[in-house]
Structures are given as C-alpha cells and as structure tokens.
Structure 1
Amino acid sequence: MGAGFASTERFLAELHEQRLRPGYVFAGDEIFLYERCRKAILTALVPPEMRDFCLSDLDLSEVNIFEALDRARTPSLMAPFQVLFLRNLKTLYTRGSKKEEFAAIEEYFRSPNPQALVLFVADHLRIPADPRRMDMDDKNRYERLRETLGEWCGMVELARVDEADALRWLTAESKQYEIQIDSDAARELVDALGADMMMVSNEFEKLVLYVGEKKRITLGDVETMVLAAKQRSLYELTDAISAKDKVRAISLLHGLLNASDGGEDSAIGHLYMLARTFRQMLVILEKNVRDSRAIWQALWQGFRMPPFAADDLIRQARRYKSRRDLTRALRLIARADMELRSQPPDKRLVLERLVLELASEPRPASGSTAQYAMEW
C-alpha cells in the first residue's frame, strides 16, 4: 500500500510482531483505517470470552484522565492483559493548560503497566491524503499532540486515502476473496465514491455477493449496483429541481423511492445525498467554477462527485442566481431531515413536499429555519 496506509501498516506490523509501545495516539478521522486497527487489536489481544474483563472504551468527557490511567495501572484479576481506548481526547486540549493531567500522563508512561495498552483516539482533526494541504488549525492540533504525547506514545496517522491507494486496496482485497475486479470497474467504483474507503469497502462487499460464483466484477456490475440506482438518478433529480421541473422531479423521486426499501434509513440517506449535492453546487457557485478541469481544485478529496457528474453539476449550479438560493435549499433539506427523524406518519410525503419546495421559485425567507443552514 502507499502513503495513505503507511502509518497504519507500521502499527499493524508492530502488533503482529509483538513489539508494541505502551501507548498510541490514533490521529485523524479516517474511520476506515481506525476500524481496521481496532479490529486487529481486538483479534490479537482481546479474546471474545474475556472482553468484559480486559477491554475498556472510555470517554474522556465522562471519565477523567486520572481515573483512566488508574485503570491502566491496576492489574486485572480476571484478565492477563488490558486494552483501553480513550475517546474524546480533545477534552485534554481545551479550557486551560491541563498541567496536572499531562503530568499524570508523563508519570504513567515513565513506568507503564507492561500488561496494558493505552490507545488515545484523536478524531477531532482531519489529515488529508496530502499532508501539505492540512488545515492550519489541524496542523496546530497535530503538533500539540506530538509535543504532549509523542514522546511516550506511537503516532498512528489516520489520513484520508487517495485514489491510487484505494485502487491498490481493491486489488489486494480481490485477491483475498479470490475474485477478479476489472481495472475499469475498480476505477469507476473509486471515482464514484470519492475514494471514501468506508463506502468503497461496503460497496465492494456487496459486489462480491452480487457476482457470486462468477468470481469477476465488471464495469457493468459496478454501474448496476453502485451508480445506476443511487447516483445517476440522484443527479437527474437535482437536474429537474434546478430546472424547476416539478413533474419530472416528483417522477424521479418516486423512481428513487421505489428502488429502495422506503424505510427511515433510506429516506435519510436520500436527504444526505441531496444535502451533499447542494453543498457541492454552493462551492461551485462561490468559486465560480466553469469547467470540469477546475472542479477538482474547488472540491476537496472526499467531497467530490464522480467524474461523469462533473459537467452536469456545474450546469445545475449555474442555474442558481445567488448563494441565497442554494442556502435556502439547504435549509429546506435540514428542516425535512428533522421532520423525518421525528417519526412522521408518512416519510414519502415529507420527501415529496421537500422536492416540490426545492423545485419552486423562492418565497420570502423565513427566519425559523436559518439556524440549520450551516449544519449542512
């Protein structure tokens, strides 16, 4: 694997070779890589029958660091080894210097319990695939982690995965399943999902089940299972909405709903994708993107649309006259999301009303929903 997997691969090698340090910091919000490491730790160090006695998942907003370190320091009577995941690490870096807390950490790691592994989860920062493009605030957070914990703990960077690494992962995973994935199919899968590894891995597992004994994933399989029902139809829906074509928009919405189970998760999923698409259009409009070559600079990795949709989305975004029109759409989607989560009697009706409002000319703005605009 390439740079996107390099840090986690080093950690997994240390785990496999039983040369672990007494503590590690998982820095970054790439959930796929975090889950990969967590699963390996549990497999190697936490027998299922001993999980209640040797695994601790602690939230530092609920349990202070002194209690967590006491637990790590105290040998368990029921298990030979302890694994402690300490989440919400950001609480150690807010409101004051926390000198006593960091002094306690230093004291523990000067003489750690050899039968315990302490894992700090720092998912409050984002590390892009190219670290040079890291946000300044995230850079400062990362440096603070290194200064305070780096001397005692191994640093495992959970950086976003780029397209090349995602393709290499697909190739390696296919061999494990003894299945062939065509190169154009792998490329389309990665492009369509913006190299979001959690989504890529989930869709890959579905494709493995779908092709079954055929043992080969083709471009047609990817288009059938991943794109046709989910993304291409969605962009057709936003095209109708941006063109203010209510009849076509409602027809396309019904097509999306009929292709899914129609349940709450499905309805919220459609809303999520609508919100994401309108946010993409907002960035395109604000940065005055006029062609698909410029779109990849305007939209960051993990927030890009598949290549087939780039020109369509630019055209759709340019139908909106101002930022206000797009933020109005995001407010309407946020309101519908709240309505769906409050268990309405008819989820389909909520979505239909939303699409009709999105496809209508704006009315005078109401202040009641403005507070939700930035949540999307």
Structure 2
Amino acid sequence: MAGTTRLLPAYLVVGPDELKRKQTVTRLRAHVEGPFADFNLEELVASADMEPVGVLSSLNTLPMGGDLRVVIIENAGKLPKPVSEAIIEYLKAPNESCTLLLVAETLAKSTRLYKAVAKVGPRSVIECGAPKRRDLTPYVQKLAAAHGVGIDADAASELVSRVGESTTMLDNQLSALSALLGGQGQLTRAFVEQNVARTAEVKPWEFLDRIAERDARRSFELLALLRGNSAIGLLSLVTGRIRELICARALMARGDARGIAAAVGKADWQVRGHARNAGRFAEGELEGLLVECARADRALKTGADADATMAVLVAHICGVR
C-alpha cells in the first residue's frame, strides 16, 4: 500500500501479527487528511447485527472536500454472511473514490470474500503472519531501532520471555523502555530485568536453555515459575537436553558440529547453542549428570519432595555444589 500513487478499491489485511495490522491501518488513515478527514474516514467493527444497507451506503458515499474516502472494517473475519456477500457484489463495480480496508486476524483463502479482494489488484491482500519464535530476537531488535535505541540479542530474548510473543505488547514495552533511556542508548538484559515485569507464561524451552548455559540465577528463577508443572514431565525434558548436549559434545570431538540437528532430530535453529553449551561442561560431567537425572526420576516416583529434588538437580547442572 505504501508508495503507491493510487490506492486500490479494496485491501485485506489478514494475519495474527496485530502490530503489522495496526501499522497498515495507520498508513491508510494517513491518506485521509484535511478539514473533512472525519467525514471521509469511517471505521466499523464487524458484528452480528451489522446490516448490508449501512455498509454499502458508506462505501458508495462520495468524499467531501477531497478525492478519497476510506472505510475500515475491523474483525472482518466475522462479518455476517449477508454483509460479506454484499461486499463481494460491491467489489465487482466499486466506488472509485473509496478504498475499503478489511482487517482480520484470520480469513481462509478459500472464502469468497478473500478471493473477491484478491481479484481487485496486485498486493490487495496484505499478509501479516506472526514472526516465528526463532525470528523474534532480530524482530525485537528492529522494533527497538525504530524507537531510537539498541538492544542486544540476550536482552531481546529476555524481553520476549517476560512479555510474550505479542508484537503489539513487545512494541509497547520497547516504547516505554526507550522513554526511560531518553530515546537513545542501549537496552541491556539487566535493564530489561529491572524494568519489565514478567507477564508471559514461562516456556519449558526457556528453562532448558538457561540450565544448558549453566546460568544458576536465571535457572532457579524460572524453576520457581514452573513449579505448577509436573516435576516428572519437566525432568524428562531436562534429561532430554542433557542427552542432546552429550551428543553435541561427541559430534564436536569428531569435528562434525553441523550434524547436531540431524543427530537429535531437531531443526538447526533449535540447537543453535548446543555446541557452545556442551563446551561449558568438563569431560565426563554430562554423563554424570545423566546418572543424576536417573536418580532424580527414581526419587520422584517413590514420593520424594519434587521441589527439593529438582532444585538439587538444577544446582548440580549449573555447577553449584
């Protein structure tokens, strides 16, 4: 949409990335300016009681004091069928002075509405797919740069772990952190920890990454937050990570660090730190920890205190004796 001299009669902004959807809506709003902006911009939210007559009337209204009218319909994936069908018919001969923007978190490509908008013109459908977990760290770094600050990968990862994967929440939090730094400077992990409360549920993989790094302080913080989970289930994940590190260490000794992902049956991005983390343990230490995992498993299954058992194991993995 950006950079075009003439807007299409309709666009569909669809996908789970709320921030991208909002940014697209903001860009379209900017096309309607001047004293008649309020008249030439109408924003609607799809609801069960929405009627085709009202929507079509808005779409066919001519702009006042300008050459463009914009109609935005949020939650378009839940348009009542009569309204959706009316829009499909409208798009066959749309008002050339009006641009319709349909905004939806989800709308199947197989639907008649999706297909009708896709036929309007090139790039009429704007996909807003959410970043994958492996892409969130660089994504956060780009968002931080837009707020005038830098953020290293470790701090970005910590922010995601505390805030969650909502791009809007991450952007809002970065805006607040940037303001604390006066709109310039570098966001460190310590600064994030000090100024961002944890609101996201802890993911087990985050805990596994911290124990593999032998970061005792953060490992125990996350272990406490995971207390409501099954101790035996968590131990199974820990044991699996120790096995993966043993495999990584063996492959490194053979000069085949690139084969780690295939050997453990995971994607490359999932084992990105395995080679480095395996090197944090002394020769034979990982094998000894695997034995400790087996002992912890027996203890848990015979009624031992779950919190104490896991705390001792985590302490040993992190090198605290």
Using the size of structure 2 for normalisation, the TM-score is: 0.57
| 2:247 corresponds to | none
* Contact preservation (8 Å) 1:163, 1:191: no
Tell me which amino acid in the other structure corresponds to 1:181. Answer: I
In the alignment, does 2:121 pair up with 1:209? no
The alpha carbon displacement at 1:314 in A equals: 4.1
| C-alpha distance after superposition, 1:168-225 (max 9, x if no partner) | 3333344444433223212221233233211111111111121237622111111111
Offset, 1:101: 5.4
Structure 2 residue identity aligned to 1:49: P
Q: Which of 111, 121, 131 is 2:103 aligned to?
A: 121
Q: Does structure 1 residue 38 correspond to structure 2 residue 33?
A: no
Q: Could you tell me the percent identity over the aligned residues?
A: 22
Are the aligned partners of 1:72 and 1:116 in contact in 2 as well (CA < 8 Å)?
yes
Using the alignment, how far apart are the partners of 2:206 and 2:157 within structure 1? 21
Give the letter aligned to residue 122 of structure 1.
Answer: A
**What displacement does 1:77 show?**
3.2
Q: Does 1:47 align with 2:15?
A: no
Aligned to 1:150: 118
User: For residues 17 and 28 of structure 1, do their structure 2 counterparts lie closer, same or farther at Cα, with a shift above 3 Å needed?
Assistant: same
Note closer, same or farther for the CA distance 1:48–1:29 as it changes in structure 2 (3 Å cut). Answer: farther
**Structure 2 CA distance for aligned equivalents of residues 294 and 187 of structure 1:** 9
- Structure-1 separation of matches of 2:89 and 2:205: 54
Say which of 172, 185, 188 aligns to 2:142: 172
The answer for the alignment partner of 1:70 in structure 2 is 57
1:46–1:83: 8 Å Cα contact kept in structure 2? yes
For residues 311 and 105 of structure 1, the distance between their equivalents in structure 2, rounded to whole angstroms, comes to 52
1:120-269 aligned within 5 A: 120-123=102-105, 125=106, 141-144=108-111, 145-152=113-120, 154-212=124-182, 215-226=185-196, 230-231=197-198
Unmatched runs of 5 consecutive residues or more in structure 2: 209-217, 232-321
The 8 Å contact of residues 166 and 197 in structure 1, kept in 2 or not, is answered as no
**Whole-angstrom distance in 2 between the partners of 1:310 and 1:166:** 20
Map of 1:56 onto structure 2: 42
Report the equivalent of 1:316: 228
The 1:120–1:171 alpha-carbon spacing in structure 2 relative to 1, beyond 3 Å, is same
- 1:214 and 1:40 map into 2 onto residues whose CA distance is 25
Q: CA RMSD in A?
A: 3.5
Post-superposition shift, 1:119? Answer: 1.0
C-alpha contact (below 8 Å) 1:190/1:200 kept by paired residues:
yes
* 2:151–2:188 CA contact under 8 A, matched in 1: yes
Quote the residue 1:18 is aligned against: 5
Counterpart residue type for residue 120 of structure 2: W
Tell me the residue number matched to 1:86.
73
| C-alpha separation in 1, matches of 2:166 and 2:89 | 39
Give distance in 1, aligned partners of 2:52 and 2:24. Answer: 23
Q: Give aligned pairs, total.
A: 219
Shift of 1:106: 3.9
Counterpart Cα distance in 2 of 1:23 and 1:213: 37
Instruction: Report how far residue 161 of structure 1 moved.
Output: 2.2
Identify if the C-alpha distance between structure 1 residues 214 and 87 changes in structure 2 by more than 3 Å, giving closer, same or farther.
Answer: closer
Which amino acid in structure 1 is aligned with residue 4 of structure 2? Answer: E
1:309 Cα offset (Å): 5.9
2:114 is paired with a residue whose SS is helix
Taking structure 1 as reference, are residues 316 and 107 closer, same or farther at Cα in structure 2, changes over 3 Å only? closer
Say whether residues 1:111 and 2:79 are aligned partners. Answer: no
The residue type equivalent to 2:13 in the other structure is F
Quickly say closer, same or farther: Cα 1:91–1:217, change in 2 above 3 A: closer
Residue 316 of structure 1 and its aligned partner are, at CA, apart by: 2.5
The Cα shift of 1:108 comes to 2.3
User: How far 1:162 moved relative to its partner?
Assistant: 2.5
Amino acid at match of 2:43: D
Structure 1 pair 41–147 and aligned structure 2 pair: CA distance change class (3 A)? closer
Distance in 2, matches of 1:159 and 1:42, equals 22
Q: Is residue 50–residue 80 contact of structure 2 (8 Å, CA) maintained in 1?
A: no
Deviation for aligned residue 1:81? 1.0
- Is the Cα contact below 8 Å between 1:163 and 1:190 reproduced in 2? no
Tell me the SS of whatever aligns to 2:169: helix
SS at structure 1 position matched to 2:2: helix
Q: C-alpha offsets along residues 291-310 of structure 1, whole Å, 9 cap, x if unaligned?
A: x35999xxxxxxxxx98765
Judging by fraction of residues, say which structure has more helix.
1
Q: Is the 8 A contact 2:140 2:156 kept in 1?
A: yes
